[in-house]
Structure formats: C-alpha cells, structure tokens
Structure 1
Amino acid sequence: MREQPPELADAAERQQQIVTRAQLLAAGFDDMYLYRQTRRSQWQRVLPGTYALVTGTLTDEQRRIAAALYAGPEAQLTGLAALIWYGFRQSPRTDDVHLIVPHHARRSSAGFARVARALALDAKARQASVYRVCSPARAVVDAARDLRHLRPVRAIVAEAVQRGFTDLARLDEEIGRARRSRTALVRKAFSEVVHGVRSAPEAELRECLTSSPVLPEIRWNPRLTAGNGTSLPTPDGYLADSAVALEVDSQEYHFSPGDWARTLDRHNELSRHGILILHFTPAQIRRDPARVRRTVEDAYESRRGLGATNRVRVQPIDVPGNDG
C-alpha cells in the first residue's frame, strides 16, 4: 500500500479517516488505485465520491462526516441526526443523516445521506468538527416534519424546552418559517408545551383529561406557594379548586433510590399542605385512559371547594401565543 502524502494524512486524521475522491486525486492517487483499494477491502466507498480509509462499521460521527463531505461545504446537519449530535435522550434513533443545502445546489440524496434543498439555511447553525449543525430549534422542527406519529414529536419538543436546548420563542419562529408544510404534529406538541406540559407522558395525560365534562382547567407544572409565601414542589398537573395534584411517574425519572427519595419528599411536602396527589404511569395513561380520567374526576368531585381553604396559591405565569 502506498504511503499517504502528509496533506492527505492530516485531512484523514481531521475527518476521522473519511475522505473525498477529490482529496485522494489531489494527493496523487488515480481512480484505478481507488478501485483496487476498495476491491481488496482495504478502503470502503461509503457514498458517491466519498471513501473511508478503514474497514468495518462506521461510527455515528464518521457517518455524519461522510454525509457532510458528500453534500458539500454549505451543507448543514439537521433533523434527527442533529438531535442525536446534541444529545437528545428522547430522539428516535436513525441511520440516516439529514442535511440541508442551498436551493441552488445540485446534490440529491444517496445512501444514508438525505439531502434536502432549502430556501434559507439556518443563520444560527454552529460549527462542529468538519461540518455545521443547525440550531436545536431548527433541528427539532425539521425532525418533527419527517415523523409520522405524535408521540415522538411530543417527546423531542418537550425535551428541547425542558432541558434548555431552546426556548418557546425560537421554536415558534421555526414553526412559522416552515409555515404549513407538514407541521400539524409539531404545532400540536408546541401548543401543549406552551400550556405547561414538559414531557410526552404529561401531554398524553393532558389529552386524556381534556375531554372530561367534569374537570375544570388543569394547570400544568404550575408554581405553587404556601400561605406564608414559601415555594412548594411543582406537580405535573394541579386542580386548584380541589387541591388535587397529578404526577406522571416515569421510570426514567424514578429509577434510582435518590430519585425515589426526592419523589417521596415532594409527595410529603404537598400532602403537608392538604394536597391530594394522584400518581399515574405512562403505561396506565396509554392502556386505560378512561380509568385514569374517572379516577381524577372522582377525586376532584369529592374534594371540590377544598382548594379555597388550604391556602396554597398558584402563581400567575405568562403564556405565550403561537401566531406562526
């Protein structure tokens, strides 16, 4: 095997052993040599005009680099691939790498590289190793437009806000930019987050209870204070008139002994101020929503009016609108 020129070795190191045909030709190799190297399984042709100078399965980062090199220097990583790069925990996994390129670019999708032309690239994109990554807000909206079910869209929208990847204003701006093109699901999920929901299971509980003819407005993730002004733990949902709190107990948040102890502390502190706490799992909400709704309705009716005597107050919050 011929020794790599220093400039190619440097590029290969920087690009995690992913290089383009143009880089190889500039280093003095010809197409016949590239063909022999791949035929002998010394290298891999991973995308048109894009090679891995190693064998075996590519890592996620190598796939991102390969797709970006294939798509061109103006390409920006977006969608689920960008969410995975940011470290979203609730993002569905995918082997595809979604990129956007300028509308005038002549590059189409190939292999795991999904390339879409955009009228406007993301001005807030950030530089990664050898490619640019769209802002979390743009990546969330682009990912949501490709998803076909509400549950994963709810999950990524809620996580984006809950973990501080972006805020409501930026999400609203990106939804408005996308207009009405495949945005029904992300608009619904955004509306739920605007009203206080902070996870997909909470959104499913809210949807379950919205159809109730008995229940009044439920405040989601409200700020509660005791009569002396001290802050109380924030329940997932709260019915102020009956002092009933709703909690969605996901295994993700209650798996360790420390998490369970904090849950008990929150429960006890709310109970000390006369609040009844109802606990539901995501599985219960999905499997038997009618029973969950009936449980909340019965608790509300049995305690109606008690909220006026327990001196717990719900602090007002500004609820932004969505005009996009």
Structure 2
Amino acid sequence: MDWEDVELAARHQILTCAELESLGVTKRMIWARVRTGGPWRRILPGVVMLRNGTPTRAQALEAALRYAGKEAVVTGLAAARLHGLEKFSPTEQVHVLVPHRHRRTNKGYVIVERTTRMPPIVTRGGFPTADVTRAVLDAARRMDESARVQALLAEAVQRGRTTPDRLREELEAGSDRGSALPRAALTAITEGARSVAEGWGMRVAARSGLPPMRWNVRLRTGSGLVLPSPDGWIDDVALAMEVDSLEHHLAPDDYRRTLERHNIMTAHGIVVVHVVPSQLRTEPDKVIAHLRESYRHAARRPRPDIVAQW
C-alpha cells in the first residue's frame, strides 16, 4: 500500500471505504485514522475525507456523490448554485438523483431521490449535474413558500438558463407531487412577471377592476423612438406601473436610472405609478386606490402616441 497512490486516487480528498480497501488500506487502518483526533474524518457512512476539520463545499458535494453511488447526479438548489443561480438562501443540503433501482436513503445533509427519469448529465464545477430546468423544479417541488419558488424560477428564466416552455414541459413530464407552487409561479412568469414583486403586482392589479395590465411590454413612440419598458402597462390610457425593487438606500446609479426612466416616460405623456414591494404585500388596497385614481387622471387627458408590443 502506497499512501501517495491513496492521495492521488482521492478527488477533493474524498474516498469511500471500499475504494480505500481496494488501494490496500485495511479496515483497521481506516478506523484508526478516522477516530477522534485522527488525521481523517468520516463524513458520511462509508465515505472518508483524507483530512480532519470542516469539509469545503466541493468536498461535501464529492462526498454526497460517493455516498449515493456512481450514477448519482446533483440536482435541486445545490445544482442551481453550480449553474450560477444565486437568488436563494444558501443551504448545506445536497440533493442527488439516483436510478430507482438503487436503495440509498437520506443521510446527514444528503437528500437521495430515487427516480425512473434520470436527467441528461451536464458537468458544472466538475460535478455531474442535472440540467438547470430539472434542477430548479426539483428544488421548487420541495419548497413550501410561493415567493421562494417564484424567485428561483424567475431567476433561471431571466438569466436565460431556461424558458417557460421548458419548465412547463418538465412539470408535465414529472410527478404531480409538489407541483402546485411551481405551476402557479410559472403562470405568473408566462404572463410577464420577472420577479416575485412583479408577481405580487399582477395579483393586486387583477383586483383593481381596471382594464388588464400587461407586463414588461416594449414601448415606442409613433415616430419609432424606443422608450423604457415599464413593469406594468394599461394600454388604453398609457398608464405605467413601476415596481421599485429597492425601497431604501438606493445606490446612486440605481436611483439615477430610476429617475431617468421616470423622466423619459413622463416626458412622452405617460402617467407613471411607482410602488414598492412592501406596499403590494401589506397595503394592496392603497395601491389599488392609487391605480384607480391614476387611471382616471390618465383618462382625462388625450392619450399620447405610444405604441406597445407584448
């Protein structure tokens, strides 16, 4: 047995006990090195880190895959992070998919999901990973807060990592279990909401009794000048609603861009209503009253020559 061979065989310093034994390390030697105060650490049943201390994120991922077996694939939030998504609370859990015939169970920080629908594998950060569409929906099915679900799916779509059509196809192909919140979030995204706050805005606007509000439309003047795209738009009176994502302490550049958008739209005769996310959540009736009054104001003046596309 050559300790150098052991180190070379260990990806991210992680090996299973079976792999160690195949390299000539006896069970007794393994036990001696992982005991309290020893130089190694047993991370999961049958999985050893060839050093002591807290594993890195890469070591935790590698250990989860070694524990789950050679065909295991990272999915859920762990995979979403590997795909570069970040608008969710970090978690130490690692969600992996394994073929249905496998008999591994959840252990420690590892969620093992047996499936008859193993996804195509893409490599991210050196790890076998489910494609982003499958990964975010696997995560969403286990969430119980609609805002978290919509934030995750909206980020994946907004960053161009997937599309509403691909998300819908994956939802239809999978189990109905845990699909209610992702379906609702996908409906809002399909209708134009690019964020959780815009989803709240949709629901509030729908209660206003006003003509339908379109979302993230493209605007131009009759002469062809392109204008900023508002969050919400009521076309018959050229009324825009802007959901300002940051309520306090806007960075100077963010504040400047908000003012520029407002000034350009109002200079072309558009009536602009600004709301912040907390108002949509806690004061929807006030927002509705403001929308109605702004609509009446917009209806009293001649409609400006603005063309909207959605």
TM-score interval (norm. to shorter):
over 0.9
Contact 1:241 1:305 in 2 (8 A): no
Counterpart residue number, 2:224? 229
- The equivalent position to 2:39 in structure 1, one of 39, 42, 49, is 42
The residue matched to 1:146 in structure 2 has which SS?
Answer: coil
2:109 pairs with 1:115: no
Distance 1:129-1:25 versus aligned 2 partners, 3 A rule: farther
Q: CA deviation at 1:254?
A: 8.4
The residue matched to 2:183 in structure 1 has which SS?
Answer: helix
Partners of 1:242 and 1:120 lie apart in 2 by 50
Counterpart residue number, 2:4? 5
How large is the RMSD of aligned CA atoms in angstroms? 1.9
- The equivalent position to 2:26 in structure 1, one of 30, 34, 52, is 30
Once the two structures are superposed, what CA deviation does each residue of 1:64-84 show, in whole Å capped at 9, x if it has no partner?
Answer: 111011111111111111112
Partners of 2:116 and 2:306 lie apart in 1 by 51
Partners of 1:101 and 1:244 lie apart in 2 by 51
| Larger RCO (alpha carbons 8 Å, 6+ apart) | 1
Q: CA deviation at 1:297?
A: 1.7
Q: CA deviation at 1:109?
A: 1.3
Q: CA deviation at 1:250?
A: 1.4
The residue matched to 2:225 in structure 1 has which SS?
Answer: coil
TM-score of the two chains, using structure 1 as the length reference: 0.90
Partners of 2:228 and 2:248 lie apart in 1 by 15
Partners of 2:115 and 2:19 lie apart in 1 by 27
Aligned residues: 309
- The equivalent position to 2:195 in structure 1, one of 192, 199, 210, is 199
The residue matched to 1:132 in structure 2 has which SS?
Answer: strand
Partners of 1:42 and 1:140 lie apart in 2 by 37
Counterpart residue number, 1:186? 182
Distance 1:170-1:37 versus aligned 2 partners, 3 A rule: same
Q: CA deviation at 1:129?
A: 5.1
2:286 pairs with 1:291: yes
Q: CA deviation at 1:130?
A: 5.1
Contact 1:65 1:130 in 2 (8 A): no
Q: How does 1:115-264 map to 2 (within 5 A)?
A: 115-123=112-120, 125-128=121-124, 131-212=127-208, 214-251=209-246, 255-264=250-259
Once the two structures are superposed, what CA deviation does each residue of 1:37-89 show, in whole Å capped at 9, x if it has no partner?
Answer: 11133111111111111222222222111101111111111111111222222
Q: CA deviation at 1:93?
A: 2.1
Counterpart residue number, 2:83? 86
Identity %: 37
Q: CA deviation at 1:253?
A: 11
Counterpart residue number, 1:320? none
Partners of 1:260 and 1:62 lie apart in 2 by 42
Q: CA deviation at 1:203?
A: 0.4
Partners of 1:111 and 1:298 lie apart in 2 by 56
Counterpart residue number, 1:275? 270
Once the two structures are superposed, what CA deviation does each residue of 1:101-144 show, in whole Å capped at 9, x if it has no partner?
Answer: 11111211111111011111112x20235531111110111111
Contact 1:73 1:131 in 2 (8 A): no
Q: CA deviation at 1:205?
A: 1.3
Deviates more, 1:28-37 or 1:257-266: 257-266
Q: What one-letter code is carried by the residue in structure 2 that aligns with 1:312?
A: I
Q: CA deviation at 1:305?
A: 6.3
Counterpart residue number, 2:69? 72
Q: What one-letter code is carried by the residue in structure 1 that aligns with 2:275?
A: F
Contact 1:18 1:50 in 2 (8 A): yes
Contact 1:232 1:269 in 2 (8 A): yes
Partners of 1:261 and 1:134 lie apart in 2 by 40
Partners of 1:24 and 1:133 lie apart in 2 by 25
Runs of at least 5 residues in structure 1 that lack an aligned partner in the other structure: 318-324
Runs of at least 5 residues in structure 2 that lack an aligned partner in the other structure: none
Partners of 1:252 and 1:271 lie apart in 2 by 21
Partners of 1:140 and 1:254 lie apart in 2 by 31
